[in-house]
Amino acid sequence: MDAGGTPPGEGEGGGVRTAMAGLTTRGRSFLAAGVAAAVCAYVLGQSDLLRVGLLLGVLPLVCAAVLYRTRYRVAGSRRLSPGRVPAGSEARVHLRVDNVSRLPTGLLMLQDRVPYVLGPRPRFVLDRVEPGGRREVSYRVRSDVRGRYPLGPLQLRLTDPFGLCELTRSFSAHDTLTVIPRVEPLPPVRLSGEAKGYGEGRQRSLALAGDDDVIPRGYRYGDDLRRVHWRSTARYGELMVRREEQPQRARCTVLLDTRVVAYEGAGPDSAFEWAVSGAASVLVHMLERGFSVRLLTGTGDSVPGEGADGFAGASQGTADAAGLMLDFLAVVDQSDDTGLSPAYDALRGGTDGLLVAFFGDLDQEQAAVAARMRQRSGGAVAFVLDSAAWMREPADVAGPLDRSEERLRMLREAGWTAVLVPHGATPEEMWRLADRERTALAATGGEGTR
């Protein structure tokens, strides 16, 4: 953020009015005393009193004029470290003020505007800054609530040595601090639907899309002559065979239920915030494991710029892909939709990858919709958050737990590996629990494994 020149829309007349409006109580008193002394000198015919009146009246005007010119030769900048921070963690904001004029400044008060959720408004008093000098200060901000928060504008208050005038300058530029959901490291378990390519993030499929997708290679002794690609053979003048297999990255879709009716409560410890944090943890984990990851909300929305198969992991762009998804989750909000049909329609294309879903309250109808989603994926894991049980004490949740168990049974019968998330559980604990549930189902020959 740089400062210099006249603020937009402020001409000479506006500058004079601004300078005069900056006179302090002391400055206005000096000016009034000077005018009174000049009037008395004229009435009484005292020339010495006129000199005193002129001195008292001109001094605040001169201070205002000098200060007005000085304020346009000061530059300020702001730097965030880091610009993206998890909820509950601190970021440091560095402020720098440069005096680019040939005159020293007076006492400066530096003030930055920050949202209330980030903490109190920081204020700093800077001593006289020499010509060409600089001053650097910093402060910390912290938020337990994810989101994007504007910082600025930076305000600088200048005063003259006599305290007769104060002028405040607001710089124009802003910065944005992005508070992303908490991301917890997850253990590398082998969940249902990950068998294909989990270790290396790869699986193989037939290349039957047509000649444009064929990658021919030279004929080798023992190759089946039925694989000869005659068009390439004619082009290169030697026998060429088509490669029938090509690598394909394993895929994972993370579904976040964003229905406002599915969650009760608000704040950092609410069920919805746990679901957002859990989805973020799974996204980052699967990207690191080499999966192509897709994020989907209950409204059927996905991350802008996401491809048909999502963002690819285990590549140079993994960090950028994770950043885009976390930025999306930083501002995701609950929707007014009452059903999961938009998400079901978005999954209609079908995928042989893993589907990881974070559901809120499910009535019988929505549980049936969620159960049908399993038919469109190679494997499915559901984390169900019953917000009614989430907000009550363990001794008071017998009724909600009975209802939740019924919903879990419907999901498991459809092939889901479904677990109920209790209050206070961590994403890592639930990830391990889902793996144990899958192992138990596999041992008993359940429908939830493949």
pLDDT in tens, 65-74: 887 776 557 8
Q: Tell me the residue ranges of DSSP E strands in 373-447.
A: 379-384, 417-420
Rounded-to-integer distance, Cα 194 and Cα 357, Å: 15
Q: Which residues contact 143 (CB under 8 A, 6 or more apart)?
A: 87, 88, 117, 118, 149, 177, 179
Weakest mean pLDDT among 95-109, 125-139, 259-273, 301-315: 301-315
pLDDT at residue 247 greater than cutoff 80: no
Question: What does the pLDDT read at residue 417?
Answer: 92
Helix (H/G/I), strand (E/B), else coil: 443? helix
Rounded-to-integer distance, Cα 144 and Cα 65, Å: 46
Rounded-to-integer distance, Cα 179 and Cα 115, Å: 13
> Within 10 Å of residue 411's Cβ, how many Cβ atoms?
26
Rounded-to-integer distance, Cα 283 and Cα 385, Å: 19
pLDDT in tens, 292-310: 899 999 999 988 877 666 7
pLDDT at residue 395 greater than cutoff 70: no
User: Burial code of 374-387, b = ≥16 C-beta within 10 A, e = fewer?
Assistant: bebbbbbbbbbbbb
Q: Are 351 and 376 spatial neighbours (Cβ–Cβ below 8 Å)?
A: yes
Question: What does the pLDDT read at residue 430?
Answer: 94
Question: What does the pLDDT read at residue 5?
Answer: 37
Q: Tell me the residue ranges of DSSP E strands in 250-361.
A: 251-256, 292-297, 354-359
Rounded-to-integer distance, Cα 17 and Cα 342, Å: 58
pLDDT in tens, 340-381: 999 998 887 655 688 999 999 999 999 999 999 886 666 899
Q: How far is CA 242 from CA 32, 145, 207, in A?
A: 96, 54, 9
Q: Tell me the residue ranges of DSSP E strands in 12-88.
A: 74-81, 84-86
pLDDT in tens, 173-186: 889 999 999 999 99
Counting residues of the chain whose pLDDT is more than 70, the rounded percentage is 80
pTM of the predicted protein model: 0.76
Report the sign of the C-alpha dihedral through residues 48, 53, 56, 57, in that order.
negative
Question: What does the pLDDT read at residue 280?
Answer: 97
Question: What does the pLDDT read at residue 329?
Answer: 96
From the list 355, 359, 344, the residue with the least C-alpha distance to 377 is 355
- The DSSP letter of residue 110 is E
Q: Which residues contact 181 (CB under 8 A, 6 or more apart)?
A: 86, 87, 146, 273, 276, 277, 279, 280, 326, 329, 330
Q: How far is CA 289 from CA 186, 194, 293, 314, in A?
A: 11, 11, 10, 7
Question: What does the pLDDT read at residue 45?
Answer: 86
pLDDT at residue 159 greater than cutoff 70: yes
pLDDT at residue 212 greater than cutoff 60: no
pLDDT in tens, 7-59: 333 444 556 677 788 898 999 999 999 999 999 998 888 888 998 999 999 99
What's the chain's average pLDDT?
81
Question: What does the pLDDT read at residue 428?
Answer: 94
Question: What does the pLDDT read at residue 392?
Answer: 62
Task: Report which of residues 205 and 174 the model is more confident about.
Answer: 174
Question: What does the pLDDT read at residue 9?
Answer: 38
pLDDT in tens, 329-346: 999 999 998 899 999 988
Question: What does the pLDDT read at residue 72?
Answer: 59
- The DSSP letter of residue 376 is G
From the list 309, 352, 301, the residue with the least C-alpha distance to 328 is 301
Q: Between the ranges 382-386, 388-392, 436-440, where is the mean pLDDT highest?
A: 382-386
pLDDT tier for residue 281 given thresholds of 50, 70 and 90: very high
Question: What does the pLDDT read at residue 48?
Answer: 87
Task: Report which of residues 433 and 103 the model is more confident about.
Answer: 433
Peptide bond into 427 cis (omega under 30): no
pLDDT tier for residue 290 given thresholds of 50, 70 and 90: confident
Whose tokens are 């302090």? That residue is 24
pLDDT at residue 207 greater than cutoff 50: no
